[in-house]
Amino acid sequence: MKTVLILGAGLSSNMLIWYYLQRAGQMDLHVRVGDISHATAAAKISGFENCSAFEFDVYNEMQRNHEISGADIVISMLPARMHPLMARTCINHSKNMVTASYASSEMLLLDREAREKGVLIMNECGVDPGIDHMSAMQMINRIRGKGLELVAFESSTGGLVAPGFENNPWQYKFTWNPRNVILAGRDGARFLHNGKFKYIPYHKLFSRIETINVPKLGKFEVYGNRDSLMYRNTYGLHNLETMFRGTIRRPGFCEAWDTFVQLGATDDSYIMEDTENMTCREFINSFMAYRIDIPVEEKLSNYLGIPMGSEMMERLKWLGIFSDEKIGIPGLTPAQVLQKILTEKWSLEPGDKDMILMQHQFDYMEEGKRKKIYSTLTYIGNDNYNTAMAATVGLPVAIISRMILEGRIKPKGVHLPVIKECYEPVLEELKQYNMNFVEETIDVPPDSESV
């Protein structure tokens, strides 16, 4: 019997845990699920056999070593910042590990040590990053396999509410860790556009947006997602004119979200004064100059150029940010206060469905003409528990970790799933879960504007 150790049993682990519980008997597995909350872990395995739940504290060194040393594969769905520590422990015990998180520079530095110990640390195995890498790499190799030259690659993904469930003025709800949504974009964006390197700082990110058109779904906004340039190496693309990764939102979201960025309300670097007794209204006011002769709404309107009565001002009002309700919790950062306010408005309700939308654009030259392949994945969740986010993050993590457990992925070291022996079977198996890309090829007109 082999042991699958899954650490972190939050929302995005639902499908991952389910995948293994379904197969535990047949595969002769014991599925061990740990979480900082024992109740959370226990709820996920309730009613199943061949499994156990336990309270897990990653900073408890003895427990961390004990659990990892007893596992045959380690799957970490813990917060990304904990992964270098996890990886070091896995390397010490010669255990392979899988995560859905971005491989940090600290993680990448462990590559040599992992190779020497014959350990595989596979990162970025979720949806974005994850399915995006795998599906892009498959198409890139298909284009190159035909001897054609790829000239541009753009890839965007969004975790959104499904069509029909955009029933609030923002057309947005949290389908993912709210904290990650609030801190999204903090490092700005770096990419390549028509041969020019472009750098967008955080405070300009949400006003420097691009628009994409998705068949049957219409227009969406895209803002730049971190450092696109480093993925030239990952994908082996060195002569591109354009290389851009983005995050998708519904129209109007970015402009409204930018209000919080401009105010400084997404800052997570300092503790505000007396957040226990501060009201929502005072929170917003604290980011603007002292003036007592006009209301906070009008002050905000003047400060950031948001017309009173505009759709955008209505979006802001709907959130309750101008209310006299107290935050009620001491010692919060601005980002934590904002999260408290937004969670009350943006949580998925029973019956709500979410959606993962991913669109790649591959431009290549064929017989002197420029062509573009749109490759689009639309995946709708079942409900507010079995979400599209949980499925698209959890299933590739599950499939990849299973392949490693079964010895089907040979390389050692710190990797991303852009290896053919990895992405081909994963994408194939994901089709069983209706995760299919729709392709369309068009001739590119001579010039078109974007970011």
Residues that bind a second copy (CB under 8 A): 187-188, 190, 193-194, 196-204, 208, 227, 229, 262-264, 267, 269-270, 272-274, 285-291, 334, 449-451
Tokens of 398: 């599950």
Q: Shortest approach of a second copy to residue 450 CB, angstroms?
A: 7
Q: Shortest approach of a second copy to residue 182 CB, angstroms?
A: 14
* 27 closest CA partner among 395, 302, 402: 402
* Contact in structure between 108 and 40 (CB atoms under 8 Å): no
The C-alpha angle with vertex 110 and arms to 105 and 113, in degrees rounded to 5, equals 165
Tokens of 266: 């997404």
- N- to C-terminal Cα separation, the chain: 53
Single-letter residue type at 402: R
Q: Shortest approach of a second copy to residue 189 CB, angstroms?
A: 10
Q: Shortest approach of a second copy to residue 97 CB, angstroms?
A: 27
Which is closer to a second copy, CB of 169 or CB of 188? 188
How far apart (Å, rounded) are the C-alpha atoms in residues 128 and 106? 20
| Nearby residues of 396 by Cβ (< 8 Å), 6 or more positions away | 100, 125, 126, 127, 130, 131, 134, 417, 426, 430
Which is closer to a second copy, CB of 215 or CB of 328? 328
Q: Shortest approach of a second copy to residue 178 CB, angstroms?
A: 21
Give the C-alpha distances (Å, rounded to integers) separating 425 from 127, 400, 447: 16, 9, 37
CA gyration radius, the chain: 23
Which is closer to a second copy, CB of 286 or CB of 386? 286
Helix, strand, coil content of the chain in percent (nearest 5): 35, 25, 40
Which is closer to a second copy, CB of 278 or CB of 380? 278
Give the C-alpha distances (Å, rounded to integers) separating 213 from 217, 357, 358, 376: 8, 12, 12, 11
Which is closer to a second copy, CB of 20 or CB of 206? 206
How far apart (Å, rounded) are the C-alpha atoms in residues 228 and 200? 12
Which is closer to a second copy, CB of 1 or CB of 289? 289
Q: Shortest approach of a second copy to residue 286 CB, angstroms?
A: 5
How many CB atoms are closer than 10 A to CB 20? 26
Q: Shortest approach of a second copy to residue 191 CB, angstroms?
A: 10
Which is closer to a second copy, CB of 194 or CB of 441? 194
Q: Shortest approach of a second copy to residue 404 CB, angstroms?
A: 32
Q: Shortest approach of a second copy to residue 17 CB, angstroms?
A: 36
Which is closer to a second copy, CB of 323 or CB of 382? 323
Element spanning 358, H or E: strand 354-366
* Contact in structure between 225 and 204 (CB atoms under 8 Å): no
Which is closer to a second copy, CB of 273 or CB of 314? 273
